[in-house]
Every structure is written in structure tokens, then in C-alpha cells.
Amino acid sequence: MVFGVFDGLHPGHISFLKQARALGDYLVAVVARNEAVQILKKRATRRSLAERIEALKVSGTVDQVLIGDLEEGSWEVLDGHQPNIIALGYDQHELKKDLEVVLPSKSFSCSIVVLEAHEPNVHHSSLLHKIK
């Protein structure tokens, strides 16, 4: 399972998804709701939730796409799908901290794997937003 905004798939996202896919035989991508992005990143997405979901589906890198929880911190998506592995991007530090707190209380076993960066100085999403 992976989590992200996926607001315009770029080579860094594709690398992230391929690395995650290599960890198992079924990859679920959880896409952040627009409201969550506004709160967490203090900015709106450039693409709608439907567009971001469709881009993931047609990318051929994921088996299933889910919409993130309505209520932040409810972790319903984890309870409903009980992943064996959660793959995180090299820059998802806060999510890693949150998961390290919540996962021990779950009724299933799940590992966290932090994936390698893909040319972070070239393809990092925050750099792409500065260009626009």
C-alpha cells in the first residue's frame, strides 16, 4: 500500500510506484482527498481527485486505487484493507511517524518500507510547483 497526492504523475512518482510494486504482488494506492491536501500542504491540488485517480489507473503501476479517509487519523483505509507492507516515499516523514504510532494497535501485522528517492533535485513535486 502507498499513500500520496499524485497531482500530476512524474518520473519520481512512477519510480516510487514501481519500487513499491516490487515489494509484493498487489499494490493499492491511497489518494489523498482534496480537503486533506489543502490542510496538510496548505495548497490546492492542480488536478481533481477524479483526474488523479484516473492517472494512477491508466499508469499500469497499481492494482487498486482508493480514496483517502474522510476523517484524518481514522485510519479506516488500513482497517479495511490490512496491508502487509506500507511503502513510503523518502520524503513522507510525518506519515511514517504517524504510522509507527498507530500500527502497533492494529490487529494485523504490517511493515513500513521507505523507498529510495528518484533524482530528488530534479523531479521533486515541490520543485515542480515552484516552476509553475
**CATH number of the domain within which 96 lies:** 3.40.50.620
Contacts of 5 (CB under 8 A, 6+ apart): 31, 32, 37, 41, 45, 52, 125
pLDDT value of position 128: 46
pLDDT tens per residue, range 31-85 = 999 998 888 888 889 999 999 999 999 999 999 999 999 888 899 999 999 999 9
Confirm if 29 and 6 have CB atoms less than 8 A apart: yes
- The pTM of this model reads 0.87
131 — pLDDT class (breaks 50, 70, 90): very low
Domain hosting 12: range is 2-131
27 pLDDT above the threshold of 70: yes
> What cell was used for 88?
513510503
- How are beta strands 64-67 and 2-4 bridged, if at all? unpaired
How many domains in the chain? 1
The candidate with the shortest Cα–Cα distance to 74, out of 24, 130, 111, 33, is 33
